[in-house]
Structure 1
Amino acid sequence: MTTVVLADDEALLRSALAALLPMEGEITVLAEAEEGGSAVEATLLHRPDVLVIDLEMPGVDGLDAVARIRRELPEQVILMLTRHARPGVLRRALKLGVQGFVSKSAEPAHIATVVGTLHEGRRWIDPDVSALAVIDDCPLTDREIDVLQETGEGYSVAEIAARLHLAQGTVRNYLSSAMQKTQTRTRHEAARYAREHDWL
């Protein structure tokens, strides 16, 4: 029997999966969550075999929730449901150690099969998700993406340096390079440009 926590802000989809997954496989749904914060709480409380979480949710989104869970439960197995497999987002999810990606339009039977696959220690990325992910025209390096991500969260150069364990001059260099590549005048414009192009 595989235990699961389900996190999705779409109540209809979440309740449908909660009802159908146990019928499709040896799956027990321990808890449901409708946003990222409660997904973190439910996962830390129940410690399921697999967390099935929507990428885009209000408040704390799926990636932020996964990052918080990873700090407490580094071995947690995670299946991410996504409608928009943007390259930058997928790259962040993979860096966070997400083991599986499935389209939200997938049949419950398929999702149940993937849950079982992940529980066995394997990985799964739906072909339609991976096809979108490889169309990656991002010119930014991983470090430039990191500093723009922090900029987008509202942190100062000094705070970014402390959070990423870098020298302030190094952070400024990364930001300057990112601004050149995005042809923007400020780091905040660069972060906005990168987000609009799905690089963050």
Structure 2
Amino acid sequence: MSIRVLIADDQDLVRGALKVLLNLEPDIKVVAELGSGVGVADAVKKYRVDVALLDIEMPDVSGIEAAKTLKGTDCAVIIVTTFDRPGYFQRAVDAGVSGYVVKDTPPDELAAAVRRVHHGLRVFDNHLVEAARRAGNNPLTPREIEICNAAKDHASVAQIANRIFLSEGTVRNHLSNVMAKTGARNYHEAIHAAITKGWL
């Protein structure tokens, strides 16, 4: 029996390349493709997927959020991404993924990772594990993360407050906390730092 794989990646070229490479393996078959994290759980159920390969940054629903919807199912999840940020890695682990590999991983290693997670093993890069250990847990609170996400497009304090129904004073207080935690001089730098660390 072939290992049934789903690929979710918003880049058509990447998704197509992964499909071609994995379908060359005699024991792996790509049975579903998605251009975003939307509908991952439904597709896993419909196509009886054994292993889902999810990109992190996708429209509407991220790979990490999609992974959470598969917790408790028989489908193992591997994050396949260009981002080797400790914060992303830690969030992925917390979401219950079984593997985390970067997109420049050689094809034979990716295929081996699919087989390993299908057999209940975990595949994490030692460098990332150590980097995440050194970085520690994400220091931002859920509210601070919400505010930072609302400010990613360089929104003003008034715009942020409008978007998430908080007072401007409350938004300023939370942004000050984020600045303190990142060591940034202003909240735009703080949000950039939080993104770079993979906290958002």
- Above 0.5 in TM-score? yes
Rounded to whole Å, the distance in 2 between the matches of 1:127 and 1:140 is 19
Structure 1 gap ranges (5+): 158-172
Say if 1:81 and 1:101, in contact at 8 Å, map to a contact too. Answer: yes
Rounded to whole Å, the distance in 1 between the matches of 2:112 and 2:26 is 7
Correspondence for 2:16: 15
Say if 2:41 and 2:66, in contact at 8 Å, map to a contact too. Answer: yes
Superposition pairs of residues 1-200 of structure 1, within 5 angstroms: 1-67=2-68, 69-70=69-70, 73-75=71-73, 76-130=75-129, 132-136=131-135, 141=139, 144-154=140-150, 155=164, 178=178, 180-182=180-182, 193-200=193-200
SS at match of 1:37: coil
Structure 2 gap ranges (5+): 151-163, 167-172
Q: 1:139 to 1:95 in 2, by over 3 A?
A: closer
Rounded to whole Å, the distance in 2 between the matches of 1:132 and 1:12 is 30
Superposition deviation, residue 5 in structure 1? 0.6
The total of aligned residue pairs comes to 183
SS at match of 1:55: coil
SS at match of 2:121: coil
If each structure's helix is expressed as a fraction of its own residues, which one has the higher value?
Answer: 1
Rounded to whole Å, the distance in 1 between the matches of 2:148 and 2:105 is 32
The TM-score normalised by the length of structure 2 is 0.72
Q: Identity rate of aligned residues, in percent?
A: 34
Superposition deviation, residue 181 in structure 1? 2.9
Superposition deviation, residue 90 in structure 1? 1.0
Say if 1:54 and 1:81, in contact at 8 Å, map to a contact too. Answer: yes
C-alpha RMSD of matched pairs (Å): 3.4
Superposition deviation, residue 121 in structure 1? 0.5
The TM-score normalised by the length of structure 1 is 0.72
